[in-house]
Chain A
């Protein structure tokens, strides 16, 4: 794999994460720059996604680059039986960077092995989604003024939810305390609890989304129970409505608490939370633009100034 690709958040060191966050801040202050002039980026979305694709494409456009690609594999030669390898090799002839989402797990890792063009993984099945993790980290950093020593509560689908798994991997550098709130069917897999133990990360597991858990959290990270991750639809129906956040549940919460959600939400956050200043999920999505601008420039080897982030910069 070429080192300018990004397949998993675990590919990044702590120093690299901190540098990318400071660069994201630079882009937040200066979102429009012509630094990708003459560059062509492919967005290959073998699985539909609105938010991630639009956010990557906006990131390129605002930096003056051009985008080619597709948002649905059915309109490509994949539907004629072309292998992923051949598609990647063909596209590599045209572009400077490939941003790829695929429904199969490991597809991005494989793509980096068949091309010299850098590849950014924009999600591969239930496996990895590192640009989401970067925007989550940026959102946490911006709202809390730090990444160290925070209490982070993860709620909902902790079994299949790749965003929560990647968040654990990224936060292992920053001494967090995790709360895992999930029913038995969707609880945190053993391998991620093992990661916590190996890295000395404190965690507790809860079946109830209780007042005590909410009132002692700095970040509550809600997730959607995703139907497409279930082989058995009966199991999905049983668990999909178990954890919903309502505004009244936040009465005793800490002032610095922020609610995050990778979106799209269905009914796990009641709309009455949206007007609460602690709701941060829409700004979180906006932060994705800046985080992705930083990642794109990293992969293209473009040096970007870093802006320090202080508490007064919060919004």
Chain B
């Protein structure tokens, strides 16, 4: 191995989340809740990506994430790819999927929206998947998912 390469052990079992936009990486870490995890963990950012120029990546040993958590990742990192590793083999590789309706995840950034004043869940319709545009079910305000504040 050349000295310029980073020594990262291959995962035996666990999850690799790849193609995270660099600006979303640390928010993804927070959503995954892995800050206090005692498993082997590798986080890389601003790595070369042939698709996007730069990317972030998260490798977590012996940990698999529920759909609800990956749905949250899809809001801020819609192109992220989740690899499931078992016994050194990639047994599943798939893109996170932005659902048609996003419930209870994103905060509406309209300060006069009812959802910011009542103890209730927010709800957005995905109106443009490519541009990551969400429309508030209540006040009709449009929110960009990449800039969204997550609840």
Contacts and interface: CB of A to CB of B under 8 A. Distances in A.
Interface of A: 83-85, 102-107, 109-110, 124-128, 191
Interface SS of chain B: loop
B142 A191 contact: yes
A105 B118 contact: no
Most buried by B among A102, A103, A105, A110: A105
Contacts of B114: 84, 102, 104-107, 109-110, 124
- 7 A-B pairs with least C-beta separation: A106-B138, A105-B139, A106-B139, A106-B114, A104-B114, A107-B114, A109-B138
Nearest to B110: A105
Contacts of A125: 112, 139
Contacts of B119: 83, 85
Given A84-B118, A110-B138, 18 more contacts: A83-B118, A83-B119, A85-B118, A85-B120, A103-B112, A104-B114, A104-B117, A106-B113, A106-B137, A106-B140, A107-B114, A109-B137, A109-B138, A110-B120, A124-B139, A125-B139, A127-B139, A128-B140
Interface in B94-151: 110, 112-115, 117-120, 136-142
Contacts of A191: 142
Interface in B69-117: 110, 112-115, 117
Nearest to B116: A104
Interface of B: 110, 112-115, 117-120, 136-142
B118 A126 contact: no
Contacts of B115: 106, 110
Contacts of A106: 113-115, 136-140
A221 B28 CA distance: 49
B120 A105 contact: no
26 contacts: A83-B118, A83-B119, A84-B114, A84-B118, A85-B118, A102-B114, A103-B112, A104-B114, A105-B110, A105-B112, A105-B113, A105-B114, A105-B138, A105-B139, A105-B140, A105-B141, A106-B113, A106-B114, A106-B136, A106-B138, A106-B139, A109-B137, A124-B114, A127-B139, A128-B140, A191-B142
Contacts of B142: 191
Given A109-B137, A127-B140, A191-B142, A104 B112 contact: yes
A215 to B, nearest CB: 35
Nearest to A191: B142
Contacts of B136: 106
